Amino acid sequence: MEIFQTLPTVVRQNPEENFQIVRADLVLGDKLSLAVDILNMSEEIGTGINFAVKFKDQFDNPLFNGLEWSFSASGFEALPHKIYYIKTFTLDSRFTEARAVEIRIEKVQLKNSKIYKYDKDYEYEFILPVITSQKMEKIKSTLGPEINTYGENTIYGWRCVCGALNGKDEEECKNCKRNKNFVLNNLTEPLINLKMLNLLTLNENEDKEKLKSSLTQTTLSKVVPSPEEIEEKRINEPNQNYRREKSLTLFFSKLIKFLWIIILILSLSFAGLKLVFRFNDKELLTSGINSIEEGSYDKALKEFMSIRNKNLSKEKIDQARALIKSDRANKEGDNFIISGDYLNAAKSFRKVIEEDGKNYKSAQDKILGLEKIFLDRAKREVQENNPEKAKNTLSSFLQVIPESAKATALLEELKGQKTENSGKIDEKTESEEEDKTRADLVSQGQALLNSYQKVLWDNANLRKGPSINSEIITSLSKGTDLYIKDTKIEGNKRIWCLVETKNEKTGESFEGWISNKVMEAAEK
């Protein structure tokens, strides 16, 4: 009987796909048939598959003008990470001349009813290694039963010994997790042949030379086994063990899902409480701000202290405490006035801060009233021929309210009179120069009182208090009219003027402090 030999099988497939062909052989019995083995590298069970096959003659020439024939199988269960042996396809008399096949997967159906169609534009051509049955048995007995083919490196990917094709950038097999370098450095055809040769060297069997020839040479064609021989070896693993594993996996999966649901519920509850606390914090913050505007500083502090988010409340707590301190200073000042201790009253009113909307303006008015008391007292003491006592009175007041222009002017006037009367000419010192500069500012401040001025620069800042650090009320344009109500001296630098003004465009009136450096004199 003539030996029926076939050529190596060509497989067209994409190494990135999860279902791959690991074997496709022509089998000769009563009729010619096609046996195909597939590898499922997914996590799902495959239940259907379609192949597109081209047949070639013994000279590797296409039959049927290169026409692709479609073959399909269904109703099976290809388990994850297992090789599944498809039931052989019987070929009729038209395929008698076939000696080789070129095969690819068209589509795969999963047990979950999903269907994946494979795009042939992304497929590459791979030649399946030819390994005789005798050699494969020897390889499995020597290297392990899980070895199904040779390792191989190609331009489009690399083949693992489990049969899986992997992308060239994959460092380990997607199916069996073997390391790429280990496979390609130890389990390629030449290296396996070398291992077989070393083993045969130790074998004293008289058929050693015959075995050496059959087990170490590269095979370019294969003798087709009978269908009976094929079916003896192509036995699919029952899925009972898989179902048992699947049941355990499903149990633990459900348990994990249940635990995740519990965690999710707790997280949502925590998030809900956090949202409630956050909403409550915002309510307390708004209420505290309103309490400050109403002048209820103690109430505001309690509300700010009740806020859970300390990052949100820290600044407001400090603000409320400062306002409480300012409010107490104002009350102390009132008590000192009642007891007739005007100097300590001035000290207390000076501690009232600008942010204290309830007390600041009235405290400033009370300081002006106390200033008048000390000025009148000093003038009375001068009339009583007691200028030294008058100077002490003014000096005491200026130690508390150093920016008082009127007290400074009167004190300088009294000092000037003493110098003129004594006729003494003292050597000028740096301190006297400073006094003269301050005296000039005092004189200018006196001249500015109850006068009209115009803004000299554009965007001149009108502030809430007599300080460069005070909050800006608005910016005034060049030429804006100002009326000076009061003045305060800032060291030897500038004169702060309390002014009334109006925005000519909107008609809105403003009162605030502005530096003399941005004004020019206007006609009274």
Same-domain pairing of 20 and 71: yes
Per-residue pLDDT of 98-136, as tens digits, reads 999 999 999 999 999 999 999 989 999 999 998 888 888
Q: What is the mean pLDDT of residues 395-419?
A: 82
Which residue, of 397, 415, 433, is where some domain finishes? 415
Confidence of residue 3 (pLDDT cuts 50, 70, 90): low
Q: Does the pLDDT at position 492 exceed 80? A: no
Same-domain pairing of 328 and 189: no
Tokens read off for 245: 């594993």
Same-domain pairing of 295 and 188: no
Q: What is the mean pLDDT of residues 291-307?
A: 87
Is residue 420 domain-resident? no
Percent of the chain with pLDDT over 70: 86
Per-residue pLDDT, 203: 60
Q: Does the pLDDT at position 242 exceed 70? A: no
* Dihedral angle, C-alpha 511, 513, 515, 520, nearest 10 °: 20
Q: What is the mean pLDDT of the chain?
A: 84
Same-domain pairing of 331 and 469: no
Same-domain pairing of 224 and 266: no
CATH of the domain at 511: 2.30.30.40
Same-domain pairing of 120 and 212: yes
Per-residue pLDDT of 251-277, as tens digits, reads 677 788 888 888 877 776 665 555 555
Per-residue pLDDT, 314: 83
Same-domain pairing of 130 and 229: yes
Instruction: Identify the domain containing residue 389 by its residue range.
Output: 260-415
CA–CA separation, 508 and 188 (whole Å): 93
Task: Name the residue among 111, 90, 129 with its Cα closest to residue 40.
Answer: 111
Q: Rounded to whole angstroms, what are the CA distances from 137 to 27, 141, 148, 189, 211?
A: 19, 6, 10, 15, 13
Structural domain tally of the chain?
Answer: 3
Task: Name the residue among 97, 88, 86, 100 with its Cα closest to residue 29.
Answer: 88
Per-residue pLDDT of 440-472, as tens digits, reads 888 888 888 888 999 888 778 899 988 887 888
Same-domain pairing of 63 and 179: yes
Is residue 429 domain-resident? no
Which residue, of 194, 216, 233, is where some domain finishes? 233
Contact call for residues 84 and 102 (beta carbons, < 8 A): no
Per-residue pLDDT of 304-363, as tens digits, reads 888 877 777 788 889 889 999 999 999 999 999 898 898 899 999 989 998 888 898 889
Task: Name the residue among 321, 317, 290 with its Cα closest to residue 306.
Answer: 317
Measured at the alpha carbon of residue 509, what is the angle toward residues 505 and 512, in degrees to the nearest 5? 125
Q: What is the mean pLDDT of residues 139-157?
A: 91
Confidence of residue 410 (pLDDT cuts 50, 70, 90): confident
Is residue 427 domain-resident? no
Query: Would you tell me how many other CB atoms lie within 10 Å of the CB of residue 97?
Result: 12
Confidence of residue 179 (pLDDT cuts 50, 70, 90): very high
Which residue, of 233, 268, 294, is where some domain finishes? 233
Is residue 409 domain-resident? yes
Is residue 440 domain-resident? no
Same-domain pairing of 285 and 402: yes
Query: Would you tell me how many other CB atoms lie within 10 Å of the CB of residue 287?
Result: 15
Is residue 292 domain-resident? yes
Is residue 374 domain-resident? yes
Confidence of residue 63 (pLDDT cuts 50, 70, 90): very high
Task: Name the residue among 105, 117, 130 with its Cα closest to residue 13.
Answer: 105
pTM: 0.47
Same-domain pairing of 14 and 113: yes
Per-residue pLDDT, 490: 82
Residues paired with 25 in a beta bridge: 35
Same-domain pairing of 386 and 469: no
Same-domain pairing of 410 and 270: yes
Is residue 62 domain-resident? yes
Q: Any residues with CB less than 8 A from the CB of 302 and at least 6 apart, and which?
A: none
